[in-house]
Amino acid sequence: MDTKLRAINQLVTLSFRLSAENRFLDAVLHASEGIAEGNEAPFLQSWVEARQFLDSWNGTSKYQLPHAMRRTLSSTLVYYDLATHSVVLSPALLVPPFYYSHGTKAMDFGGLDFLLAQHLILALVQSAHSWSGNVSIPWLPLRQPDDELWRRRHQCVCTDDKSEDCFWFPSTPALDVLLNALGAIDDVAIEGMERFTAQQVLLITACHVTCKRESSPRSSTDNVRSFSSECNAAVRNLPAFAKAFRCPRGSNMNPVKKCAFF
């Protein structure tokens, strides 16, 4: 099957579902910790006891979804589950800054849609590399090292996971997709925001979203700094950001060399 057709099929077959109630997930987590903490029993015995606890909920609606997740419990608000090929969202996302009931299209795109776009891109690259067996650097193209595109992207490989440059993917391509989509939609500014363009509102909202996340798989001990880094790295590699905010070429927020996925 052609690569483009495979990508289209991955997006068409992707499903979305809400995560289970946090109260139930917390109960499972605390019970599992209680079984393991200070327990000198063999691992297999602890595993069996944890399974017995979960089975005690069998048959209830609260049991089915978390049991099907097949992943480590997490406090993330949205994630792509490769096992079920689905994007799982928390109901907690339906509040500002992720979602505004009376917001503009740009605010929608920079909020909840920004998170969804990131995980749609992750769904594509993770699925693509599961076909090829190459999982070392998931956003490198599936080509040979002598290919120019491969070399250009390989220069963006992060060698220090505490560096701001580590946070450009998948945020930069997600914003790229959303800005292109926004250009085809008529948007109306809300009162008090008339002096901002729709592109500026989208980017401001997206940066606000990164500051509101509860957790990040790449966060350092200084969470605020790491969240800010994600936003900075994402927009610094985005030509549309420099254009929207008129950042001089070669400045900190508009470097000459940028990392790009598309």
Phi and psi, residue 251, nearest 5°: -80, 175
Task: Say which amino acid occupies 188.
Answer: V
Spatial contact of 178 and 85, defined as CB atoms under 8 Å apart: no
d(CA 188, CA 190) in angstroms, rounded, equals 7
Interval 54-111: pLDDT, tens: 677 666 655 554 444 333 333 467 888 877 888 888 877 888 888 888 889 999 999 9
State the pLDDT at residue 68: 41
List of E strands, 169-260: none
Query: Which residue shows structure tokens 């992060």?
Result: 158
Q: In whole angstroms, what is the distance from residue 216 CA to residue 59 CA?
A: 33
Q: What is the mean pLDDT of residues 24-48?
A: 56
Specify the DSSP class assigned to residue 76: -
The whole-number average pLDDT for the span 224-229 is 49
Q: Give the phi and the psi of residue 176 in degrees, each rounded to 5.
A: -60, -45
Write down the pTM of the prediction. 0.66
What mean pLDDT comes out for the span 196-206? 93
SS3 state at 228: helix
What pLDDT is attached to residue 97? 84
Helices 223-236 & 171-182 angle (0-180, nearest 10): 50
Compute how many other C-beta atoms are within 10 angstroms of the C-beta atom of residue 12: 7
- Helix 43-55 vs helix 22-36: angle between axes, to the nearest 10 degrees? 150
Mean pLDDT of the chain: 71
- What does the pLDDT read at residue 215? 43
